Amino acid sequence: MSTVIEEEKVLKKDMLTEYYSEDEKKEIKKRYRKILKTAAHTLKEGDTKMIRKAFNISMEAHKEMRRKSGEPYIYHPLEVALICVEEIGLGPTSIICALLHDVVEDTTLTLKDIRKEFGPKVAKIIDGLTKIAENFEQTQSAQAENFRKMLLTLSEDVRVILIKLADRLHNMRTLGSMARNSQLKIAHETIYIYAPLAHRLGLYQIKSELEDLYLKYTEPETYKEIANKLKSTKSTREKMIDRFMKPIAKRLNEANLQFYIKGRPKHIFSIWKKISKQNTSFENIYDLFAIRIIIKGISPLEKEREKSACWQAYSIVTDEYKPNPDRLKDWISTPRANGYESLHTTVMSNSGIWVEVQIRTERMDEIAEKGYAAHWKYKGSDTSLDKPLDQWINQVRDTLESKDNSAIEFLEDFRGNLYNEEVFVFTPKGDLKVLRKGATVLDFAFDIHTEIGKRCTAGKLNGHLVPISHVLQNGDQVEILTTKNQKPSEDWLRFVVTSKAKGRIKDLLKEDNKGYITDGKDIISKKLKHLGLENTLETINQLRAFFNKKDYNDLYYFFGKGYILPDEIKKFKHEKEAQLNKQSKIIIDEKAFKDAKSFEREFKKVKGNDTLLIGDDMQQIDYTLARCCNPIPGDDVFGFLTVNEGIKVHRNTCPNAQQLLSSYGNRVIKARWSSQLAQSYLVTIKLGGIDRVGMIQDISKVISGELHINMRGLSVDTFDGIFEGTIRVYVFDTKHLDILISKLEEIEGVDSVSRVQNEEMQ
């Protein structure tokens, strides 16, 4: 308490009073005191002084800054620091870094200054948290480059990622004050990168909250509907949990097991995913909640006692209620790669409802909630505790070593290893290897060593010969066969799934392909000169986009290898000229913009009767509707500034939205419909139900007869009395579509009707 009183004095003395109201000063003191109080058990001599210094520097640095909500900016670093302590379990170094995480980016303070005041460790973490200058070309992604930079410090200090997750969580909690297009960019980036990252580091609560907040801002009506239904059924769930646990609690007490119960509903995002995936309703989701039995009173040192207590509790639960044999998951004998340990089973309750039961000890529960940070608390008692996470960090290091990869390519490879389940396989000597689910014999070979991977010709699986593309299953014992003459081929990239294998194969191929890249560069240069086109970075960018290649080297390689012939550049020239003529109505100096913001400032108003308003000023301008999602008036949409094709408009729920918004957010433009014209748009509707005579006639009657909608196509398949159909129709807007769906649902025998989200190009 004396520490808090001492800090009160410091705050009164050092507070920059002229920048804050009395209420704001009280709030700053309150938040600062809470950090110290929560972190008290981790603070050693001198820590409080360093935290105070970081706080004062942050106060000074952000004194004139306000957030979009109008609140003082200092609230943000204070809240990030509190999340680090309270929700992740980090200590004083992380508090200091959280308080300072924006000062280098937003002020004249340098990393050199940070190093001088707080030492190299804090400076290194702050460097990892500081964005790099966004001076990229149009084809590069500022977000991906910044993410890659942040990860460069991951293998040295995982706190960089943990503080970044705390930063992102607070930004998502306060997203309501941001503009709509900013909400979409930040939310999609969160679901694309940060929620999977929190999952991989075992931060279950943070991962779930990030997912829920993503849904809150991208599908607000859906979020509210599920939240309200959860709220209205809360008392019913609580009564059921009490009835369900009564006999189990009695038997656990008789067995002298100390325990407590946590009953939690599924998170809103999880329910929404299940509803979408199964094309069902909230009422039809049977496992809306899980019951967690936490065994307490066992020392973390007693690993065997922990395990036996959990299995004893499992035996009591399954004696009382009938288990589903396919739903037993033993994460105690073999923890997940993020360190998660628990027993999961699903049992049938007396009321005829399936209930998921999770059984774990207090130590396991803390690790499940706080993830990586909680491992350090117990590491002294068991050095193997953080082994799975250490293995994953080594995989990240392997991915980062592929320096030739573009940032986007790196991001895709890295993200591929975040959410996926694991497969457990063994070497011939019985050593356990944990790989991403879907891993092949070749993935296994590269996981052992690059030299073994590049010479791999086949595998012996449980004594039987299998090809290198064979997908491994849990419990497989694998022996790798190699030959000196074997060489990696591009075909290998088609079936490997781990980042390590992909990265190594790409590196090996690039080494072999350097000659082709040089040849391709010369071929393009000569052909451009012959066609009278300038050989500039802008032209090469446009060529890369025209031939749909990821980066320059990929483009050069395809020309050098002869996969693309030089004469095809003529097609590029003709299309470029046609595009320029088509877009002559828009007066833009193409060299004047690098991103969406500068584009919005540069374009001039175009006359016409477009129904879509684009940019900050919401003006009318030429655009193309993206064929990957076919937006129609009434849909929530955004504009995307392409390199070659002007503005393309996508639905917010477009299957490509996550990648575009998270990887190329600086090229996203606001867009919304101003009015609906009597113009029709093609949509695809999927429906299903019980087949009967006259079903197709009734469907056609609703579409053409009642609603007078033009139908482009109708296909229906039946099997054992069940039908599934697809209709392609022209509608005016989302209201028109909703009426059609409602009418189709009223047809006898029709069980489900939905708009196809990922429509194929026609």
Which of 75-79, 239-243, 613-617 has the weakest average pLDDT? 613-617
- pLDDT attached to residue 160: 83
- Helices marked H in 562-656 — which ranges? 568-582, 596-602
Mean pLDDT of 650-677: 73
682, two tokens: 């093609």
The pLDDT value given to residue 407: 53
Q: Would you say the pTM of this structure is higher than 0.85?
A: no
Which DSSP string do the residues of 395-446 spell out, in sequence order?
Answer: HHHHHHT-TTS-HHHHHHHHHHTTS--EEEEE-TT--EEEEETT-BHHHHHH
Contact 752, 689 (CB under 8 A): yes
DSSP 8-state secondary structure symbol assigned to residue 382: -
Average pLDDT on 577-586 reads: 54
Please check the confidence at residue 179 and state whether its pLDDT lies above 70: yes
The answer to which of 26-40, 280-294, 408-422, 515-529 has the lowest mean pLDDT is: 408-422
Q: Exactly one of 18, 71, 79, 105 is catalytic; which is it?
A: 105
Structure tokens at 258: 């100390």
What mean pLDDT comes out for the span 681-710? 81
Lowest mean pLDDT among 97-106, 127-136, 607-616, 748-757: 607-616
> Which candidate in 7, 24, 86, 106 is catalytic?
106
Question: Of 300-314, 446-460, 635-649, which gets the smallest average pLDDT?
Answer: 635-649
Most confidently modeled of 142-146, 332-336, 660-664, 711-715?
332-336
* Cα 336 from Cα 343, distance rounded (Å): 12
Cβ-based neighbours of 243, under 8 Å, separated by 6 or more: 350, 351
Tell me what pLDDT residue 566 has.
86
In the chain, % of residues over pLDDT 70 = 78
pLDDT band at 352 (very low <50, low <70, confident <90, very high): confident
Query: Rounded CA gap, 327 and 330, in Å?
Result: 10
Single-letter code of the amino acid located at 385: L
The whole-angstrom separation of Cα 163 and Cα 169 is: 10
678 to each of 609, 675, 697, 733, how far by Cα in Å? Answer: 12, 10, 27, 9
Whole-angstrom distance between the N-terminal and C-terminal Cα of the chain? Answer: 70
Q: Distance between CA atoms of 295 and 313, rounded to whole angstroms?
A: 9
pLDDT reading at 336 higher than 70: yes
Q: How far is CA 266 from CA 217, 290, 547, in A?
A: 19, 7, 45
- pLDDT of 662 reads 72
Mean pLDDT over the full length of the chain: 78
pLDDT band at 486 (very low <50, low <70, confident <90, very high): confident
Region label for 463, one of left (φ > 0), alpha (ψ between -120 and 50) or beta (otherwise): left
In the predicted model, is pLDDT for residue 583 greater than 50? no
Classified as helix, coil or strand, 250 is helix
263 beta partners:
291
CA distances from 285 to 244, 264, 280, 753 (A): 19, 15, 8, 18
Cα separation, 194 vs 171, in Å, equals 12
Q: What is the pLDDT of residue 441?
A: 94
The closest alpha carbon to 164, from 114, 120, 211, 206, belongs to 206
Q: Is the pLDDT of residue 508 over 80?
A: yes
Residue 343 confidence class, pLDDT cut points 50, 70, 90: very high
User: What structural domains and CATH numbers belong to the chain?
Assistant: 2-220 (1.10.3210.10), 227-382 (3.30.460.10), 388-486 (3.10.20.30), 507-582 (no CATH), 590-673 (no CATH), 681-755 (3.30.70.260)
Q: Look at 137-146, 348-357, 529-538, 750-759 and tell me which has the smallest mean pLDDT.
A: 137-146
Q: How confident is the model at residue 8 (pLDDT cuts 50, 70, 90)?
A: very low
Quote the CA–CA distance of 377 and 366 in Å, as a whole number. 10
283: number of CA atoms within 13 Å, CB side?
A: 0
Residue 380 has pLDDT above 50, yes or no: no
Q: Is the pLDDT of residue 135 over 80?
A: no
d(CA 16, CA 12): 9
Task: Give the rounded percent of residues in the chain with a pLDDT score beyond 90.
Answer: 17
pLDDT for 700 equals 83
304 has catalytic annotation: no
Q: Is the confidence at residue 31, as pLDDT, over 90?
A: yes
* Residue 387 pLDDT greater than 60, yes or no: no
What pLDDT, on a 0 to 100 scale, did the predictor assign at position 408?
57
Tell me the two tokens of residue 370: 């706080």
The secondary structure element, H or E, covering residue 619 is strand 619-620
In the prediction, which pLDDT does 677 show? 43
The pLDDT assigned to 402 comes to 54
- Residue type at 140? Q
Give 609-620 pLDDT, tens digit per residue. Answer: 335 555 544 444
Most confident option among 30-39, 500-509, 722-731: 30-39
Residues 491-513 have a mean pLDDT of 84
DSSP string, 335-361: --TT----EEEEEE-TTS-EEEEEEEE
Q: Is 106 a catalytic residue?
A: yes
Mean pLDDT over 510-517 rounds to 78
Instruction: Look at residue 222 and tell me whether its pLDDT is greater than 80.
Output: yes
Rounded to 5 degrees, what are φ and ψ at 297? 80, 15
Report residue 189's pLDDT band, with 50, 70 and 90 as the boundaries. Answer: confident
More confident residue, 257 or 679: 257
Token pair 């309703």 in the structure block, residue: 281
Q: Which of 430-439, 452-461, 677-686 has the lowest mean pLDDT?
A: 677-686
Residues in Cβ contact with 128 at an 8 Å cutoff, skipping those fewer than 6 apart: 149, 150, 152, 153, 154, 157, 160, 164
235-260 mean pLDDT: 89
Query: Tell me, what's the pLDDT at 203?
Result: 83
pLDDT average, residue stretch 30-57: 90
Residue 214's pLDDT band (boundaries 50, 70, 90)? Answer: very high
Q: How confident is the model at residue 152 (pLDDT cuts 50, 70, 90)?
A: low
